[in-house]
Amino acid sequence: MQGSPATATTPPRARTGFRPARWVRVRLRAAPWTALLNGVLVFVVVLLCAGLPRGVDRGEDAALHDFLRDRGIGATSLVSRSDLRHDDDSATLASVAAHLTARTGGEFRVSASGPVFGVRGISSKILGNPQLSRPDGPSPRLELRHLAGLAEHATLVEGRWPSATPGRPLAIVIAEQAAEKLNIRVGDVLTEEHLPGGRPSPDTEVVGTFRVNDDHDPYWTDLYCLRRPCLEIPETFEWLRLWKAVGLTGGDDLPRLMEWAKGGELSWRLPIDPDSLRADRLPEAAHELASYLSGPTGAELAAATGRSDLRTFSTLPDLFALATARRDAAAPLAALGPAGLAGVVTVVLCLAAALAADRRGPELLLLQARGGSRRGLLRRLLGEGAAVVLPGAALGTLLALLLLPTPRWGPALSAAVAATLCALLAFPARALVLLTPRRAVRRGGARRLVGELGLLLLTAAAVVEVRRRGAAPPGAGIDPLLIAAPLLIALCTGLLLARIQPPLIGALARAVGRRRGAVGFLGLAGAARGAGGRPRPAVLPTLALLLAVTTAGFGADVIGAVDSGRTREARLATGGDVMVSAPKGFGLAGSFAERAGRLPGVRAATEVTLLTDAAVLRPDRPHLTISLVVVEPTAYAEISRSLGRGAFDPALLAAPDGPTGPDAREVPVPALYSRGLVEQLGGRAGAERIYLTSTGELRAQYAGTIDATPALRDSTHPFVVLPAGPATARVPGLADHGHWFAVGDIDATAVRSLTRDLPVHPIVADTARRTGVPVVGPDPDDIPDGYLVKTSAALTAELTEDPLRQAAVLVFRVGTAGAGAFALIAALLTLVRAAPDRSAALARLRTMGLRPRQGLALILVETLPQTLLAAAGGLLASLAAVVLLGPALDLSALLGTDVPPGLPLRPGAVLPPALALTALVTVGVLAQALIAGRRQVAKELRAGDTV
């Protein structure tokens, strides 16, 4: 029966109500777990890519803030000064302070504690009141100042705060401790000591005493003498002790302060808040600060305040330059780990795309054969990927921004966008290659060879350029060539392994095939052939592990070099592992060296007499100023050998003790001359007369030349090393040893305990008696004033606690750990990609009598060689990177001291991270083989059991 015309002409879609299913929804429902795993992978990748730049920023900012705080408020403040005028008062001070503060707040701002300002009198006066205490003989001195806001930071103990009182002497207040020490009471009128011919100054009246509320208040920084009396000991007259007190006047008495002190100086101290500074904005902050100190801003401030003599000083520009140099030195180390991570992540995303293409390749080819266009398929694949990638990327970026807050967003967002695009485009790009007709695909060994040679030439050019010009200079930021060179070396090593791996493993398979058993031969043959019908093993998993091992090994060598370099520099700065020095002109007690030498761990120790003002007397020529080092030759030679600084043969200084008496000084003493001294002597070193300040002179006989010596950090100044026995026999005054050096694993606490029992210098003891402060405090680490105990361990710990280094090392290690984890993922993806073919082969072998345990062994033999070869290649690549790039590195800024450029090769530092990453990937491969291998074989054998 024929249908009606209307029915026959009705389109099928309108007739049945059919609507095509949406592609994205169908694909996600078809493989929900695969989509979920892809989303998790993208989330982790983007989280790391966005989080590491923000972690670097946070570390650099925290290191900058700690660096500036450690320098103290005085070093991180702006100090402005101007001469005191007759019409100045407290309102003038406050007005200028407001102008100065208002011009901050851009790249830097004033600390919350606020500015501190006041007036300092130019001259101080000697007080002549007979009732004043004179602990050390001379009359005390009085200095006058005005300090704004005093009542807010101090408590009035007695009397009142100063204010102008017509017809009365100038009113002042004094710190309570100064009043007690100098016997000053409230109501005393302090008069100047009469000087013949001098013009007396107005009297001052003490109207009150005050006590500081908090000694640690930033308000009192650099104002020690305002809080308590000061004891001044001139360097030229050590026997003279001068006590000084500071009186504070009111803001309405500035003209009278100016008359009393013969002039005055206004000062404003603006403490800069370190937290307002950003490491990435330091150049802009330095430019703004320069304008404030001596540029347009400074000129505008001088005009606005009406004080043409206003001048501002600060040490912040020098601190900014030093902080920038330190940041630039640590930047390559911090960037190396993330760079390796980026390379491994790219490999993993490409492997995931290849796995998806293998799984869905027949489906895409079928759709294309049924009329689907490549453009349409790629558009749908992009939409499918966006539904999975974009939510994971957005969540990862948001979490990185929330967990690691920092004002700098650009690098994190750029890294997140790059990772998102890579994850989104990897599978469509692989599908494009799959859907392209075979005749349009570029193939051929010649093209591959040209690409590999191009990469090799690029790597060689990068290495040559880095070695030629060295690392980027300070201030240039991260050197991209220095970061890319180790990765290029790893890529070249990976391509080389891809070339030699098949024939190498094939030869090993043939050798194993001659022995009994088929497991080893079959596994190695499969490893040499590749999986899934590919003509050769996959290169991407090898590259992933290579990149991870190379960056980890190279970075570990840098960290090891920095650590060992700091330890060495600390030992050189100490002159050994422990150094004890006595006050100038006061030797160590005779029994100290004997008791300290018996401490556990001491390998070598000696007393040293160090004179820096000796001179070589030359007839008809100017005298040469030298340093004289008097030592016990055998122990000092061992210390020099242990430090690797100025090693010598102690037999060169061997000599009989020599005669005593008036003619003893005419008998030469064997001596080691520094190279600089030999050059100044014209290369004709021989017997020289050495003049010793306050002890006479002796004759030294040249016995050898040395470049440096542990007791002197500066080896450029000429010096002479003498044996203690013969030298002290001729000049008994040299027996007063002032230093003790030792090497070994020595307990610093035990050394300090011995130092606490040493006799106290008379000046220190007298000062302690007069001030009432004990010479040695209750703390076990306290030692008598004037003595110094220095240990290389403490100095090394101080250098190691650098926040900038710690932040760089943390970011590097996080990047390295992430690279290792993704290298493991790459290996597992490779196993998953080869699982179908391997399962089919194992199932067929099971039907031929292969036991389950042999099947697992076959999987391991097939998968482990590639992992082990990649690890070995990564180790060799990291060693090659150290050898090729090491001479271009300068670790001086990271070490905090000048050292010769170059990175030493340290296999002991490279091996641990390489072995750790290899073990991680190997364990992952073993676990996957043991867990999934048995299931895959059983599933393959049961195929067709159910219909």
More confident residue, 276 or 808: 276
Contact 690, 702 (CB under 8 A): no
Residue 392 has pLDDT above 60, yes or no: yes
Residues 408/57, Cβ–Cβ less than 8 Å: yes
What single DSSP character describes residue 682? Answer: T
Q: In sequence order, what are the residues at sequence separation of 6 or more whose Cβ sits closer than 8 angstroms to the Cβ of residue 890?
A: 470, 471, 899, 901
Which pLDDT score is estimated for 486? 85
* C-alpha neighbours within 13 Å on the C-beta side of residue 482: 30
The answer to whether 121 and 228 have CB atoms below 8 angstroms apart is no
More confident site: 541 or 579:
579
Sequence letter at residue 315: T
Token pair 């060179």: residue: 485
Give percent of the chain above pLDDT 90.
14
The 10s digit of each residue's pLDDT in 436-448 is 776 544 555 577 7
Q: Give the model's pLDDT for residue 6.
A: 40
Q: Give CA 596 to chain center in angstroms.
A: 35
Distance between CA atoms of 902 and 882, rounded to whole angstroms? 10
Tell me the sheet residues that pair with 27: none
- DSSP-assigned letter for residue 50: H
Q: How far apart are CA 332 and CA 805, in angstroms?
A: 11
Q: Which residues on neighbouring strands pair with residue 142, listed in sequence order? A: 125, 245
Cα–Cα distance, 567 to 495 (Å, whole number): 39
- Bridging pattern class, strands 264-271 and 116-121: antiparallel
With H, G, I as helix, E, B as strand and everything else as coil, classify residue 372.
coil
pLDDT single digits (tens) 644-668? 888 888 888 876 655 555 555 567 8
The pLDDT tens digits for 766-810 are 655 655 555 665 565 667 777 788 888 888 887 777 777 777 788
pTM of the model: 0.77
DSSP 3: P
Give φ, ψ of 790 to 5 degrees. -120, 135
Q: Are strands 696-706 and 687-692 parallel, antiparallel or unpaired?
A: antiparallel
DSSP assignment of 403-453 equals HS--S--HHHHHHHHHHHHHHHHHHHHHHHHHHS-GGGS---HHHHHHHHH
**Residue 659 token pair:** 């005669």
* Pair 301, 99: CB distance under 8 Å: yes
DSSP states of 166-182 = TTSPEEEEEEHHHHHHH
The pLDDT assigned to 18 comes to: 46
**Do 344 and 547 meet the contact criterion of CB atoms below 8 Å apart?**
yes
What is d(CA 519, CA 581) in angstroms, rounded to the nearest whole number? Answer: 72
506-545, pLDDT tens digit by residue? 777 777 777 776 677 777 776 666 544 455 556 777 788 8
Pairwise CA distance, residues 383 & 356, whole Å = 15
- Residue 899 exposure: Cα atoms within 13 Å on the Cβ side: 25
DSSP strands (E only) in 252-294:
264-271
The DSSP-derived string for 774-838 is -SS-SSTT---TT-EEEEHHHHHHHHHT-HHHHHHHHHHHHHHHHHHHHHHHHHHHHHHHHHHHH
For residue 447, give the 3-state DSSP assignment.
Answer: helix
Query: Given the structure tokens 């079959």, which residue do they identify?
Result: 522
Q: What is the pLDDT of residue 273?
A: 92
Among the ranges given (255-264, 347-356, 478-487), the one the predictor scored with the smallest mean pLDDT: 478-487
Mean pLDDT of 46-50: 91
- In this predicted structure, the answer to whether residue 179 has a pLDDT above a threshold of 80 is yes
Asked which of 181-185, 358-362, 881-885 is least confident by mean pLDDT, the reply is 358-362
Higher pLDDT among residues 764 and 527, named by residue: 527
Banded pLDDT at 399 (limits 50, 70, 90):
very high
Most confident range, picked from 46-55, 436-445, 549-558, 816-825: 46-55
Distance of CA 764 to the CA centre of its chain: 39
Give 37's Cβ-side CA count (13 Å radius): 11
Integer Rg of the chain from CA: 40
Task: Supply angle C-alpha 426, 430, 431, rounded to 5.
Answer: 115
**Residue 100 in tokens:** 């100065």
In one-letter notation, the amino acid at residue 142 is: L
Q: Going by C-beta distance under 8 Å and a sequence separation of 6 or more, which residues neighbour residue 336?
A: 483, 486, 551, 554, 555, 558, 812, 815
- What's the mean pLDDT in 752-775? 65
